[in-house]
Structure 1
Amino acid sequence: MTDAEYVNIWMRPERPARGPKPVYSRAQIAEAAVRIADAEGLEAATMRRIATDIGAGAMSLYRYVPSRDDLVELMADRVMGEIDIAGMPSGDWRADLTRYAEELRAMWLRHPWIATVQRSLPSFGPNQLLVVERLMGVLDAFVSIDENLGLIAILSGYIEGTVREDINSARELHRSGLSESQWMARSHPYIDRLVKSGEYPILMKIVTEARQPHLSRADQFRYGLQRVLDCIAAALPSTTGP
Structure 2
Amino acid sequence: MPAPRRFTREQLQATALSIVDERGLAGLTMRSLAAELGTGAMTIYNYVDGRTGLEALVTEAVMAMSTWEEPEGGDWREALAAVAEGVLLTVWEHPNAVPLMLARGALHESALAPAEAMLDALHRGGYRGPRLLVAFRVVSGFISGFAQVEVVAPQPGPAPAADQGPALDGERFPRLVEIADAAGASDPLSRFRDGLRIILKGLEP
Q: Normalized against structure 1, the TM-score is what? A: 0.71
Please tell me whether residue 103 in structure 1 is matched to residue 86 in structure 2. yes
Match of 2:175 in 1: 202
Which amino acid in the other structure matches residue 143 of structure 1? Y
1:39 to 19, 22, 32: 22
Contact 2:68/2:83 (<8 A) preserved: yes
* C-alpha deviation, 1:28, in angstroms: 1.8
Instruction: Report Cα offsets for 1:8-51 as digits up to 9, x if no partner.
Output: xxxxxxxxx53x33322332222111111011112211111122
> 135-144 or 44-53, which moves further after superposition?
135-144
Contact 1:91–1:138 (CA<8 Å) still a contact in 2? no
User: 1:89, 1:134 within 8 Å by CA — same for their partners in 2?
Assistant: no
Distance 1:43 1:162 in 2: 23
Q: Deviations over 1:72-125 (max 9, x none)?
A: 2222122211122675897211211111111111111112233222536x4141
CA RMSD, Structure 1 to Structure 2 (Å): 2.8
Alignment of structure 1 residues 1-242 onto 2, 5 Å: 17-18=1-2, 20-84=3-67, 91-117=74-100, 118-119=102-103, 122-141=105-124, 142-167=126-151, 169-170=152-153, 180-181=160-161, 183=162, 187=166, 190-191=167-168, 194-195=169-170, 198-203=171-176, 205-206=178-179, 211=182, 213-232=184-203, 235-236=204-205
Structure 2 CA distance for aligned equivalents of residues 90 and 68 of structure 1? 44
User: For this pair of structures, how many residues does the alignment match?
Assistant: 199
Deviations 1:117-156 (A, max 9, x none): 2536x41411343333222111214232222221221111
Secondary structure at 1:140's aligned position in 2? helix
Query: How many angstroms does 1:205 deviate by?
Result: 4.7
Offset at 1:56?
A: 1.0
Deviations 1:183-228 (A, max 9, x none): 36883xx32xx12xx3334345546xx6454111111111111111
Give secondary structure in 1 for the equivalent of 2:103. Answer: coil
Q: Structure 1 200/34 Cα, relative in aligned 2: closer, same or farther at 3 Å?
A: closer
Q: Is the 8 A contact 2:80 2:117 kept in 1?
A: no
**Equivalent residue number for residue 11 of structure 1:** none
